[in-house]
Amino acid sequence: MKTVMKAFVASMLLWGISAAMPASAQTYQIDPVHSSLVFRVKHMDTAYVYGMFTSMKGTVVVDEANPARSSINIEVDANSVYTHNEQRDNHLRGPDFFNTRQFPTITFKSTQVRRINANTVQVRGDLTIRGVTRPITASVTLTGKGKNPQGKDIIGFETRFTIRRSEFGIRYGLPGLGNEVQVTLSIEAAR
């Protein structure tokens, strides 16, 4: 009888705690297999060269009732840079660009989320590349919601923004290799 009472009290406490939490805040884990981080930079002021990072992780907290409580944290493995040329990838990993032995990750941590319309939010946050942190602002669009083949809830976002690499200490090759880097980030996250 004593054990049954303890279980009852514990379950009531758990119910009370969960009821106190914001019901609409949902935490998703980024699915690296179905997420993409693509960038482009101009070569010799002529053509755009595209590259991507193939490995990332992080969390997305979505609060639809109160978007200001939403957040996103992303950690990208800088060594996973891929541009379809092994030598260029090795060059990008070196001290001329990402210096991955010293700075193995690229991170983004949101500081503010503001709703623009039903499917779009404006996200402000700190982007850290090569040990240098700069604030950036990007418009993020909800691209869809559903369930994956494993039955988990999934949600998708996409954003596109431009940074100046020199502001992050990546100054090598200017101006032959463009300063402006357009970044496209597409995230699928599951919970």
Partner 1 sequence: MSFLAQQIFWGAVLPAVITAALLVLLWRAWRREGVPSHGGTPIALALGYLFAHWRVVGVPMGFPPVDSNDWLFVTAALLAIWGIIEHFLASKPAQRDVGRLMLAATMSYLALRPLMGNVWQGASGALWIASLAAGWWFWWSLQARLADAQPGFLLPLILSMVAGGGGFILLWSNSSSLSQMSGAVAAVAGVLVPLSLWRRNGVVGAGGVAFLAGMLGFIWIEAIAFVPVPVWRVAAMALASLSPLLMLTPPLRHRSVWIAAALCVVVTAAVLIAVMVPTYRAYMASAGAYGY
Please give the residue ranges that form the binding site for partner 1 (CB under 8 A): 44, 85-88, 90-91, 93-96, 99, 101-104, 130-132, 166, 169, 171-173, 176
Decide whether 22 or 176 has the Cβ nearer to partner 1: 176
Decide whether 179 or 186 has the Cβ nearer to partner 1: 179
The answer to whether the CB of 49 falls within 8 A of the CB of 40 is: yes
Q: Is 142 exposed, middle or buried (0-12, 13-18, 19+ CB in 10 A)?
A: middle
Closest distance between partner 1 and the C-beta of residue 36, in Å?
23
- Tokens representing 182 are 């357009």
Closest distance between partner 1 and the C-beta of residue 125, in Å?
20
3-class DSSP state for residue 104?
Answer: coil
Decide whether 28 or 40 has the Cβ nearer to partner 1: 40
Residue indicated by tokens 């930079």: 41
3-class DSSP state for residue 16?
Answer: helix
Decide whether 27 or 85 has the Cβ nearer to partner 1: 85
Closest distance between partner 1 and the C-beta of residue 175, in Å?
9
What gap in Å lies between CA 62 and CA 20, rounded to an integer?
A: 17
Closest distance between partner 1 and the C-beta of residue 84, in Å?
9
